[in-house]
């Protein structure tokens, strides 16, 4: 009897975890598609939609941008707008093999980003890491769906 009860509880836990993971992976896939679209279209407004409303975002980008600081929602948008005017994205690919590294409070997703600097014609290749987390847009209504938001953008040259 105890063994049957243990197996039933274990099955229920596994089913709940499987259901949660399937929802989380669906959200991450939708997020990844939105992220790719924003970069490929050089659209700061679309990327801005993936940033949290009330939480600062850490953005660290090497040359040619030389940016490393925490920015508010509006500061992030203005910075991204300025960057996307300066460059033209050639390629943006979410890394399919490194997806996603999930932790207690969020996940890290990574991408390959290549672009050309419009001012001098130089091409750059970055490995970009996005620290993402689930955000409930209306905390007072727990039935509102979660949205994946970017808490940090960090890039390194390749």
Residue 87 has pLDDT above 60, yes or no: yes
C-alpha pair distances (Å), 81 with each of 43, 51, 86, 138: 8, 14, 9, 27
| Nearest CA-CA partner of 59 in 157, 147, 151 | 151
Number of domains in the chain: 1
Read off the pTM: 0.80
Alpha helices in 69-152 (DSSP H): 73-86
The token duo for 138 is: 């209306």
- Residue range 132-156, pLDDT digits in tens: 988 865 556 555 667 889 999 999 9
Q: Is the pLDDT of residue 49 over 70?
A: yes
pLDDT in tens, 14-28: 665 565 556 667 777
What residue numbers bound the domain in which 70 lies? 2-157
CATH number of 56's domain: 3.10.450.50
Which of the two residues, 127 and 30, has the higher pLDDT score?
A: 127
What pLDDT is recorded for position 29? 82
């Amino acid at each position: 009897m105890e063994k049957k009860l243990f197996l039933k509880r274990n099955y229920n836990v596994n089913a709940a975890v499987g259901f949660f993971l399937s929802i989380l992976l669906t959200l991450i896939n939708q997020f990844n598609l939105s992220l790719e679209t924003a970069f490929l279209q050089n659209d700061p407004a679309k990327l801005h939609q993936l940033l949290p409303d009330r939480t600062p975002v850490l953005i660290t980008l090497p040359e040619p941008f030389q940016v490393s600081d925490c920015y508010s929602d509006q500061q992030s948008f203005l910075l991204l707008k300025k960057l996307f005017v300066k460059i033209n994205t050639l390629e943006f690919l979410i890394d399919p093999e490194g997806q996603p590294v999930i932790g207690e409070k969020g996940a890290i997703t990574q991408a390959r980003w290549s672009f050309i600097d419009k001012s001098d014609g130089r091409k750059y290749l970055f490995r970009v890491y996005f620290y993402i987390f689930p955000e409930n847009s209306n905390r007072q209504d727990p039935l509102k769906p979660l949205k994946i938001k970017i808490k940090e953008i960090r890039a390194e040259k390749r």
